[in-house]
Structure 1
Amino acid sequence: MTGAVGYTLPNHRESEVKPHRLFVALAIFGIASLSHAAVSPVLVIHGGAGVIRRDMTPAREKVVRAAMTLALKNGYAQLKAGKPAPDVVAAAITVLEDDENFNAGKGSVFTHDGKNELDAAIMDGNTLSAGAVAGVRRIKNPIQLARAVMEKTPYVMLSGDGAETFAQSIGMPLVNPSYFRTEERWQQLQKALKEDAAKQPHADVETAKHFGTVGAVALDVQGHLAAGTSTGGMNDKRWGRVGDSPIIGAGTYANSGCAVSATGWGEFYIRTVAAHEICMKVTQMRVPLKRAAAEVINQEIPSMGGNGGAIALDADGQISIPFNTDGMYRGWIGADGVPHVALYGDEDDGTAELPAPADSAE
């Protein structure tokens, strides 16, 4: 907000300005009245990182881009309507969970035993509230159940049958496990099982064990952040394996200054507490967002043998989308209201030189 003599208070931090300090500032500068300044909202999404090369069929690419564009538009419409960041994150992720082209919800990969086990998490950076579910098999939209855990229970994470019992207790319907079956994912499992039997490494992205996840981070008009992630996990995973996506701090994290959703080889994101580390670099060490994200995703994780990517957003609306794989499904929408989507590593996603977000007065 700008006073009569040109003094500017940082609008993204209004909630942190103590009342008596604000009063003193107003008295010193003789400001007779104030106008409430709104933050320019931003939404960033991802649909997984991996060996994403330009051999995708035109029809498949068109469908993937359309789904990501729809997720961005749906989420941004809620941002413009003044909805809080967790609403926006859940709405965008739900679109991707409902599309079988992503490894989350409908398009989830199979476990070694031929089942679908889904994980999701959401975190409100304003309150540090969080909710997560792991290993659910009958929840159409795990991100919605994760949000219910955050809002309706004293817990952070519920798993398996217990999570589904909770879903029923709040009136959330369960779906038949067959809902998640797609022929493409089934064939990916069959190929992986043959390679397992022959003691061969998984040969390509379609059978890779750490392929795909969806996520979103959002900055709302109040200057609050949220992050969410949803995944079907690893193709051919065993023994109830849970990756980083539902673990707060590993694959999903948000606070007042930073929000991160990750995608990649989850074991390495867990061991580095990747999402939390990025945000701590930003909020505690005052490292610029792009540098903080790059240090974790493009240096620390690869140095340990892992790979993947992340989307990160700070309270000033700055975006970072680092990844160390051939490609990453990614997209963002900001003040201009235009959705930007990119898939390949050599594709300009529009975030290389983003202009500083402009504030808009109400």
Structure 2
Amino acid sequence: MPYALALHGGAGIIRRTDMPADLEAAYRTSLAAALDTGLAILSAGGPALDAVEACVIALEDNPLFNAGHGAVFNLAGEIELEAAVMDGSSQLAGTVTGVRRAKNPVRLARAVMERTPHVSIGFAEADCLAAQYGLECVEPDYFVTESRRVTLQAELARLAAGRSEAEVPDHIKHGTVGAVALDMTGRLAAATSTGGRTAKMAGRIGDTPILGAGTWADQRVAVSGTGHGEYFMRYAVAHDIAARVRYLGQDIASAAGEVMAALREVGGSGGVIAIDWQGRIAMPFNCEGMYRAMADAAGQRLVAIDQQ
């Protein structure tokens, strides 16, 4: 069987012309490193679930991305994290929300899947579970970066002045990381992790931990999304892509592309990475850019930021 892997680090108004060369290089290096981490697992015959978890951990640990260390603040000036994993072969899944101490929320999501009878655990009890299972826990300040604090202050000023949200770039408002993979045994898996939206209400739950919205995997398709989560939830974006493949017989590129185009029509911005059981990959987005990377056993490889 072939193997293949794709990952994303957020979508929105991302213009390379506005990005300093050193920052662009840092993003590309980070995406490529995360990709290589997952590929090492797949090329050695490892499971898709291990590969997507490893990719997401690499991105959670990187302050360039809105997940783990480098996540955005909520309206109360706190960081609440979310993550999900789903194994396509069994359709077992684990999700967490409101996490404030588990260093890598994606690890905790996998623990929920493998070590509890439940699918979703949230807030203080999720962090207690991380400690109980011996996962690395940190003080909330670990997740803080100064750039995210500056972004919060700018967003609070906008809200106080009553200025329109339309003037705020998409990548400032939201961002997510995720990965999808097909392994040599034909198993598919998806993993997603995020800090949510800048200045979100405390306690807000986004699309990442909602199966079928921001995360999905079955025997045919695996999907991870990034964007305005409220739209991904309302339109069941990840599951809609999988359903189009299963019931309409669409190819993965057509299914994912049509869903993202339709989402744009109703005001939702963002993108997805999707992979099917044959290793075909789609990475459409309906905004100006999406941090993304992909590779497969045939030697195809791409690390990209904007429309290219």
Q: Same fold (TM over 0.5)?
A: yes
| CA distance in structure 2 between the partners assigned to 1:67 and 1:201 by the alignment | 33
Q: Does 1:220 align with 2:156?
A: no
Q: Does 1:62 align with 2:28?
A: no
SS for the counterpart of 1:284 is: helix
Name the residue aligned to 2:230.
Answer: 267
What per-residue deviation string (whole Å, max 9, x for no partner) do you get for residues 194-238 of structure 1? 1111011243327743x2100000000001100111000000001
Name the residue aligned to 1:291.
Answer: 254
Q: Does 1:43 align with 2:5?
A: yes
| CA distance in structure 2 between the partners assigned to 1:85 and 1:342 by the alignment | 22
Q: Does 1:310 align with 2:272?
A: yes
What per-residue deviation string (whole Å, max 9, x for no partner) do you get for residues 25-84 of structure 1? xxxxxxxxxxxxxx1110000011100012111111111111110111010000011111
CA contact (8 A) 1:192 1:207 kept: no
TM-score, length-normalised on structure 2? 0.97
| CA distance in structure 2 between the partners assigned to 1:144 and 1:298 by the alignment | 32
Percent identity (aligned) = 47
What per-residue deviation string (whole Å, max 9, x for no partner) do you get for residues 97-141 of structure 1? 000000001110000111100000010000000000001011111
CA contact (8 A) 1:256 1:315 kept: yes
CA contact (8 A) 1:72 1:339 kept: no
| CA distance in structure 2 between the partners assigned to 1:334 and 1:224 by the alignment | 14
What per-residue deviation string (whole Å, max 9, x for no partner) do you get for residues 8-29 of structure 1? xxxxxxxxxxxxxxxxxxxxxx
Name the residue aligned to 1:103.
Answer: 66
**Structure 2: 5+ residue runs without aligned partners?**
none
Q: Which moved more, 1:218-227 or 1:162-171?
A: 162-171
Name the residue aligned to 2:87.
Answer: 124
SS for the counterpart of 1:250 is: coil
**Structure 1: 5+ residue runs without aligned partners?**
1-38, 348-362
Which of 132, 152, 155 in structure 1 is aligned with 2:118?
A: 155
Which of 164, 169, 193 in structure 2 is aligned with 1:205?
A: 169
| CA distance in structure 1 between the partners assigned to 2:171 and 2:210 by the alignment | 24
- The residue type equivalent to 1:92 in the other structure is C
SS for the counterpart of 1:105 is: coil
Which of 206, 209, 216 in structure 2 is aligned with 1:253?
A: 216
Structure 1 outlier segments of 4+, above 3 Å: 336-339
1:173-192, aligned counterparts within 5 Å?
173-192=136-155
CA contact (8 A) 1:65 1:341 kept: yes
Distance of aligned partners of 1:206 and 1:114 in 2 relative to their CA distance in 1, 3 Å threshold = farther
Which of 293, 298, 304 in structure 2 is aligned with 1:331?
A: 293
Name the residue aligned to 1:114.
Answer: 77
CA contact (8 A) 2:214 2:225 kept: yes
What per-residue deviation string (whole Å, max 9, x for no partner) do you get for residues 229-269 of structure 1? 10000000013111101111100000000000001100011
| CA distance in structure 2 between the partners assigned to 1:205 and 1:85 by the alignment | 34
Superposition RMSD in Å: 1.2
| CA distance in structure 1 between the partners assigned to 2:211 and 2:170 by the alignment | 27
CA contact (8 A) 1:191 1:207 kept: no
CA contact (8 A) 2:68 2:103 kept: yes
Distance of aligned partners of 1:225 and 1:331 in 2 relative to their CA distance in 1, 3 Å threshold = same
Give the total of aligned pairs: 306
CA contact (8 A) 2:104 2:136 kept: no
| CA distance in structure 2 between the partners assigned to 1:328 and 1:64 by the alignment | 11
Shift of 1:339: 4.0
| CA distance in structure 2 between the partners assigned to 1:325 and 1:344 by the alignment | 9
Which of 98, 105, 128 in structure 2 is aligned with 1:142?
A: 105
Q: Which has the larger radius of gyration?
A: 1
Name the residue aligned to 1:90.
Answer: 53
Name the residue aligned to 1:193.
Answer: 156
SS for the counterpart of 1:107 is: coil
TM-score, length-normalised on structure 1? 0.83
